[in-house]
């Protein structure tokens, strides 16, 4: 349901909103290219001043023509004619300079557009590297990131273009004002005052559009999400088979209809008032027109002056309307920059840990009374958990869906921090570790591992940036991860492009992707801790058993933690932990847990029965 519109009465502060981010936009352009910004400023100044000069030259041309006409039968005829021609030539020269400055403006804008778009995109992506997982999982924040990315290449420059356009028109208007002053100060005031109402109305309605746009961002987000569902390959299967297409399309159109109705109302009101108040300007313009004509007929101004004033009037009016359009567009560009800077200025927690060698060698991992609550959640996902995992230990985590297994891994890998208690690795609190060093000691595969749309080799190399392009490391990892056999059967072996995004890409089966992901884990030979969060669910039981025996072969003195719902695999672990609602319900070896005859034994027997 759409909430009632937030449109309120016009305030001057709303008008100022249009310029709120202009300083940042200029700084951004300045830091992108000082040379281009300076050239753009000079060209804008010329393009602003020259129209007034052209109007003045127009007056000299007409006056010199009139005087040459009067002198045509005297001996000064030729001199007067030459003067008139000189003025025409002068005007032609100024026109050439004006055209050149307009061209320079357009060239600068094109060059800046490319550079600025790249700069803003890099700023956004650099910032993304500093964000925590919880920030990525925060829907509003994620929305800011996507919106910032979507329009990064156009908005900042659009604001700059409008700002410079406004500057150019303002310079023109001031110069026209100075010219008009000579005719009549009163006329100048009348024209100025008559343009104020339409100016206020434009600012008010643009402000309304700006707030409307910001306020209904959730609906816009929903629309974008539906668009993605309807037009992406990863959702196409379900959308087709469940025949969801029409339902989703209907929802998409309904949202559009609601937004459209609001836009329509605003557009109608805006244009009605724009027209009504604009008439005041036209009335003032034509009254002054009559005034100028009478003054010319009565001889108080020359024919040339009349031409100049009328030209200045006409151009002044179009400068005013161009300024109004620029201001209304600036609200929208400001909205974008508001989102961009909100995103870029988002505080990131500085990690101060520097430890690269743990205090107690070979102490393994310890959870000390660890509790954890997801941001925004009311309940604890992990509750007062104590645990010691020794080097060389093969630990299996089991438990119902939602019991907290993956969360425990996220805490262990420092993707989240405990809300209470601490986790140590080799005796040192994770908070005190130098995080890149700590992460180098780990090799992790989550159930929702990445399927990179890269070549096979790079998909393996992604597990270790130092080996990203190392073909011998790729094949070694593939051997260990049991993916070598099927990779060698692919058309281009390790060079085969994977996925459907790029031309010639080959799609793999679920189990094959999992084998690739598992091999990725083996490309990090120095990892002291291997974690497998259910990455074998799509494999057949034989392949899973093989993987785990490989894991045991290669991880003798290292910790291996795996989550699996398959008890045939779980039973091979030295130590099994059964999690329930974020606490350890029972733990021990397979035999010990069977002897305990509680949850584990029950689940094991249940599954074993299924195989009989
Ligand atoms: N990012 C998140 N934000 C808030 N709550 C979350 C988040 N991720 C998981 N949860 C909640 O935490 C609880 C534990 O989830 P977790 O993924 O750790 O379970 P799991 O034991 O790994 O389950 P499964 O066997 O289904 O993979 C669930 O109730 C889930 O709803």
Q: Are 37 and 160 in contact (CB under 8 A)?
A: no
The angle at the Cα of 359, spanning 353 to 365, to the nearest 5 degrees, equals 85
What is the residue with the minimal CA distance to atom 4 of ligand 1? 374
Taking CA atoms only, the protein residue closest to ligand 1 atom 28 is 402
Pairing type for strands 382-389 and 365-372 reads antiparallel
Q: Taking a C-beta distance cutoff of 8 angstroms, is the pair 539, 451 a contact?
A: no
- Please calculate the CA angle 130-131-134 and round it to the nearest 5 degrees: 155
CATH superfamily name and code, 21-344: ABC transporter type 1, transmembrane domain (1.20.1560.10)
> pLDDT by residue (tens digit) across 144-154?
787 777 777 67
137 CA → ligand 1 middle, Å: 13
Residues (pLDDT < 70) of the chain are 1-18, 153, 210-211, 213-215, 328, 610-612
Q: Are strands 420-425 and 529-533 parallel, antiparallel or unpaired?
A: unpaired
Is the ipTM higher than 0.85? The answer is: yes
Whole-model pTM?
0.75
Ligand 1 pocket (Cβ < 6 Å) reads 137, 374, 377, 381, 399, 401-407
- How far away, in angstroms, is 430 Cα from ligand 1 center? 22
**How far apart are the CA of 406 and the centre of ligand 1, in A?**
7
Residue with tokens 């910790």: 559
**Residue 446 Cα to ligand 1 middle (Å):** 13
Tokens 């074993």 appear where?
608
Of 137, 141, 406, best ligand 1 pocket probe by most atoms within 8 Å of the beta carbon: 406
pLDDT of 326 reads 81
Distance 407 CA to ligand 1 centre (A): 6
Pairing of strands 575-580, 394-399: parallel
Ligand 1: atom nearest CA of 377 is 4
User: Which pLDDT score is estimated for 5?
Assistant: 44
pLDDT at 153: 67
The pLDDT of residue 478: 93
Nearest-CA residue for atom 12 of ligand 1 = 381
Spacing, Cα 117 to ligand 1 middle (Å): 38
At 323, list the tokens. 């300024």
- Given a contact cutoff of 8 angstroms between Cβ atoms, the answer to whether 293 and 207 are in contact is no
What pLDDT score does 49 carry? 92
Distance from the first to the final alpha carbon of the chain: 54
Position of tokens 């020259």? 50
Structure tokens at 415: 């993707």
Task: Catalogue the E-assigned strands of 69-185.
Answer: none
Which residue from 403, 409, 417 has its CB within 8 A of the most atoms of ligand 1, so it is best to mutate? 403
User: How many CB atoms are located within 10 Å of the residue 408 CB?
Assistant: 27
């Amino acid at each position: 349901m759409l909430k009632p519109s937030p449109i309120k009465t016009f305030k001057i502060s709303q008008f100022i909103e249009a310029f709120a981010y202009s300083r940042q936009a200029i700084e951004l352009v300045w830091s992108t290219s000082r040379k281009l910004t300076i050239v753009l400023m000079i060209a804008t100044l010329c393009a602003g001043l020259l129209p007034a000069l052209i109007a003045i030259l127009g007056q000299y041309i007409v006056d010199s023509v009139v005087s040459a006409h009067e002198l045509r039968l005297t001996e000064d005829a030729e001199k007067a004619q030459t003067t008139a021609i000189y003025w025409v030539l002068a005007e032609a020269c100024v026109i050439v300079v004006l055209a050149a400055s307009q061209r320079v403006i357009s060239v600068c804008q094109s060059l800046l557009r490319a550079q600025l778009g790249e700069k803003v995109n890099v700023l956004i992506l650099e910032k993304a590297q500093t964000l925590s997982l919880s920030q990525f999982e925060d829907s509003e924040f994620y929305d800011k990131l996507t919106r910032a990315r979507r329009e990064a290449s156009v908005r900042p420059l659009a604001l700059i273009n409008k700002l410079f356009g406004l500057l150019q028109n303002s310079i023109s208007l001031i110069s026209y004002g100075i010219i008009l002053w000579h005719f009549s100060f009163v006329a100048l005031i009348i024209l100025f005052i008559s343009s104020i109402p339409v100016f206020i109305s434009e600012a008010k309605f643009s402000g309304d559009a700006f707030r409307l746009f910001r306020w209904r961002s959730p609906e816009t987000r929903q629309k974008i999400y539906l668009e993605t569902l309807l037009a992406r390959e990863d959702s196409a299967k379900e959308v087709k088979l469940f025949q969801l297409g029409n339902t989703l399309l209907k929802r998409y159109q309904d949202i559009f209809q609601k937004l459209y109705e609001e836009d329509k109302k605003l557009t109608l009101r805006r244009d009605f008032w724009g027209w009504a108040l604009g008439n005041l300007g036209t009335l003032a313009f034509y009254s002054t027109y009559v005034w100028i004509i009478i003054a010319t007929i009565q001889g108080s101004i020359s024919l040339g002056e009349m031409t100049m004033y009328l030209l200045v009037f006409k151009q002044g009016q179009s400068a005013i309307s161009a300024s109004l359009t620029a201001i209304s567009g600036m609200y929208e560009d400001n909205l974008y920059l508001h989102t961009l800077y909100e995103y870029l200025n988002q505080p990131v927690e500085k990690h101060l840990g520097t430890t690269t060698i743990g205090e107690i060698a070979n102490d393994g991992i310890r959870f000390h009374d660890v509790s954890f609550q997801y941001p925004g959640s009311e309940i604890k996902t992990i509750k007062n958990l104590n645990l010691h995992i020794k080097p060389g230990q093969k630990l299996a985590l089991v438990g119902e869906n939602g019991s907290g297994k993956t969360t425990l891994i996220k805490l262990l890998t420092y993707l989240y921090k405990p809300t209470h208690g601490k986790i140590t690795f080799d005796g040192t609190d994770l908070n005190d570790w130098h995080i890149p060093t700590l992460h180098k000691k780990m090799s992790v595969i989550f159930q929702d591992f990445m399927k990179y749309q890269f070549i096979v080799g790079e998909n393996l190399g992604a597990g270790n940036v130092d080996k990203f392009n190392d073909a011998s490391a790729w094949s070694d990892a593939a051997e260990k991860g049991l993916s070598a056999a099927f990779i060698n059967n692919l058309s281009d072996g390790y060079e085969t492009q994977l996925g459907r995004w790029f031309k010639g890409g080959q799609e793999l089966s679920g189990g094959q992707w999992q084998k690739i992901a598992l091999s990725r884990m083996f490309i990090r030979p120095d990892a002291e801790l291997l974690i497998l969060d259910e990455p074998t669910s799509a494999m057949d039981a034989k392949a899973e058993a093989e993987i785990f025996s490989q894991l045991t072969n290669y991880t003798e003195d290292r910790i291996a933690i795996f989550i699996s719902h398959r008890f045939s695999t779980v039973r091979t672990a030295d130590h099994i932990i059964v999690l329930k609602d974020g606490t350890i319900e029972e733990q021990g070896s397979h035999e010990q847990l069977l002897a305990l005859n509680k949850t584990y034994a029950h689940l094991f027997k249940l599954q074993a029965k299924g195989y009989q």
